[in-house]
Chain A
Amino acid sequence: MNNQSAEARVPLYPRSVKGSFRRFKNSILVIAYLVYYGLPWLPWSRSVGPDRAVLFDIIGRKFYFFGLVVQPQQMFWLAGLLMIAALLLFFVTGVAGRVFCGYFCFQTLWSDLFFKIEHWIQGERPARIRLARQSWNGEKFRKIGFTWLLWFAVAFWTAITFTLYWGEAGDLLRRFFTGEAPSAMYITVAVLTFTTFTMAGLAREQVCTHMCPYSRFQAAMFDKDTKLVAYDANRGEGIKGRAKMRKGQKTLDERHGQGSGDCIDCGYCVQVCPTGIDIRDGLQISCIHCGLCIDACNNIMDSLDWPHGLIRYSSETEAEGGKVRIFKLKSIGYALAIVIVTAVLGWSISHKADLETAITQTRQPLFVTLSDGSILNSYEIKLANQTTTEKQYSIAIRGLDDAELDTGNFSQLTLQPLKNLRLMVKVKRSPGDRRLNKVDDFEFVIKDDVSNQEAAVIPARFYAP
């Protein structure tokens, strides 16, 4: 039997810590939660559509994002967004390690919040360990129960908030509690409440160490120049290894004289680690590079008046005394790719056409002979008004001198904001004695009647016997 898989989880009670990385993480926490929980409620005024800044309207097939309204045919923007996200991850991971895991991953953010709740109710690490070891009594029931209750509340609100992105927030919330919401909402809330609670509250670091694929492949992106949270073994271990603070080992001079390193083996860096590893064992797959051990060690160094940086961001090259190269082929390549994708996406969004068109020629049959010998082709034209204003269009053809356009009663069209329309049109040519070409290219011209400009030109073909 594989020993590793049989290893039972040792429950973790990370100690809280103060420091610059903790402050940085806190500010990300505040911003991320403000965005996540607040965004569905942010009002926004639009001439048509909902009065929310962000709303993903699946039924109406429109995705409102501040001033932008994204329709399904622009879904490839999402591909651009995902490409940017992936490239950014590759770039940052190459330069500074698992920055995403340590500071921005929702698993990290949510378990951090759950740790804070646990800490607030059950106290610091020793108190939590004591509580876990003691037998079930009133105090334990009360504290654990209250913790779980708060966790559940956070998980529930997290789940509710997720669903609020897909409808008008206030209305959806009211319907949720009056039992009138769609079953999809109840199912989503149930599933997300359960997963948030188990993942952030119970599974925690196991998600990073056992479930998450990113932790595995990010390590493959490190190189010698990647800055990682690392223990300076040369300084910490000295010649004879780390040593506790004992008599005769109290100052740096004394220690260096006896060959001991600067690490006083206080264990603070291990106690604060949210994944329960010892950073002094070197680079390991469980390390999410959150920087909390740096804060812990720096605090100890401060109290001893020793220099910072026994644990710090450093690279293999630095450890060997070399100089880190950030701008190497790999990172420049990723940066370039990010710039290109961002530029293409930006261009595509800013040059979004006001009128989207599509054309299908009737193929069965391609042409019809009419009673006077003229030839008829039919087309289905689809027009989609992408703007939030009402538009007036007229349709004409260009490129066939002898052709006549028949749009039924719709030579002029009014298109409501964000609406689309399918239209059957016919084109007739009277060849007289001439024989028509088997295929002729021509264009449909859609003109905006208000601005008097061409809104779209649709290439088409005319077939004749």
Chain B
Amino acid sequence: MSNADEQNSKGPQTTGHVWDEDLQEYNNPVPAWWIWAFYGTIIFALVYWTLYPTWPMGKSFSKGMFNDITFVNDKGEEVTTHWNMRALFLKEQQTGEQALKQQEYLQKISDSSYEQIMSDPDKMAFVNSMAKVLFADNCGPCHGKGANGVIGLYPNLLDDDWLWGGTIDEVAYTINNGRKGYMPSFGGVFEKEKLESLASYVLSLSGIEGGDAARIEEGKHIFQGEEGGCYYCHTAEAKGMKSQGSANLTDKVWTIANVPGHDRYEEKLAAVEKVIVDGVDREMPTWKARLSKDQIKLLTVYIHQLGGGQ
């Protein structure tokens, strides 16, 4: 390179400035490729400023040109806006490649009956993957991400015990309209012995051993008679009523009283007594207004198969 040759022959080039008689500065210009890359970044910035929102201008900002985004907002109106990540995200969700593919499947679900969905492994695979996320987002906060609920508060949806019925229609109704589970408080109604007797009877219904036969007999009298009147809701067989959401007390599943969580009979007894004294007041909200029809359909099938629906 001629430059290098020149420097080699004449010694280092200087800027020509001299301070303090002999203090000079070498002239070492940055390489040409570096300079051009620097100019390149300037051109890039100019293009970027033109295309994208960049400069703050008082309370507004420069909006950019040529890349407006059109999407449908949550009111169903078509909106065109300057380029921004949020609009891009919404548009992607509506017309992106993956979104279209999902819509195609959603349409299939929408067009099929529950029987058709449940007998098609492909559709079921879609239900399982999409409803899993829907469930975790919407139902998970109470029922848990895995739908195992919280004993005493939120029902476990994985077992085959359904307070409000486990058929497809009943599950769909529950999601759409919500439920209100209520059992009155019997606090102060019974004296201590009678309360213990009633609880013993309730434990005996599901075959838990350790109770005193006389106590159980007395408890049965209270349960089935006017003194307690429990049979109104729980029925004389204690199997519960779907229309009331009253629990089946004869099976092994406990929703409110934490009987499985205790080992000793006295503790189990106390758990049941607590429910009788406190009563139950639970509410599941309605989802009709918050989720789309297809989303509820997906959730219905998902929940139905989780608990081996009826």
Contacts and interface: CB of A to CB of B under 8 A. Distances in A.
Interface of A: 1, 3, 6-8, 362-365, 368-373, 376, 378, 380, 406, 408-410, 413, 421-424, 426
Given A376-B159, A380-B128, A370 B121 contact: no
| B: interface residue count bin | 20 to 34
B75 to A, nearest CB: 32
Contact of A364 (B144, B161, B305): B144
Nearest to B304: A408
A370 B253 contact: yes
B108 interface: no
B197 interface: no
B122 A370 contact: no
A368 B158 contact: yes
B161 A368 contact: no
Q: Which of A3, A370, A378, A410 has the most CB of B within 10 A?
A: A370
Contact of B148 (A1, A368, A413): A368
Which of the listed residues B121, B145, B252, B306 has the most CB atoms from chain A within 10 Å of its own CB?
Answer: B121
A60 to B, nearest CB: 13
A381 B248 CA distance: 33
B4 A368 contact: no
Given A363-B146, A368-B158, A6 B4 contact: yes
B128 A424 contact: yes
B308 A371 contact: no
Given A370-B252, A371-B248, A423 B125 contact: yes
A408 B124 contact: yes
B303 to A, nearest CB: 12
A426 B307 CA distance: 10
A121 B290 CA distance: 73
A368 B145 contact: no
A334 B236 CA distance: 83
B251 interface: yes
A288 B7 CA distance: 33
A59 to B, nearest CB: 9
Q: Which of A362, A365, A368, A408 has the most CB of B within 10 A?
A: A368
A371 B252 contact: yes
B32 interface: no
A384 B158 CA distance: 27
B160 interface: yes
B129 interface: yes
Contacts of B1: 6-8
Interface in B109-145: 118-119, 121-122, 124-125, 128-129, 144-145
B253 A408 contact: no
B125 A371 contact: no
B279 interface: no
Contacts of B144: 364
A232 to B, nearest CB: 36
B8 to A, nearest CB: 8
Given A1-B4, A422-B129, A409 B252 contact: no
A373 B252 contact: yes
Given A6-B1, A370-B159, A424 B252 contact: no
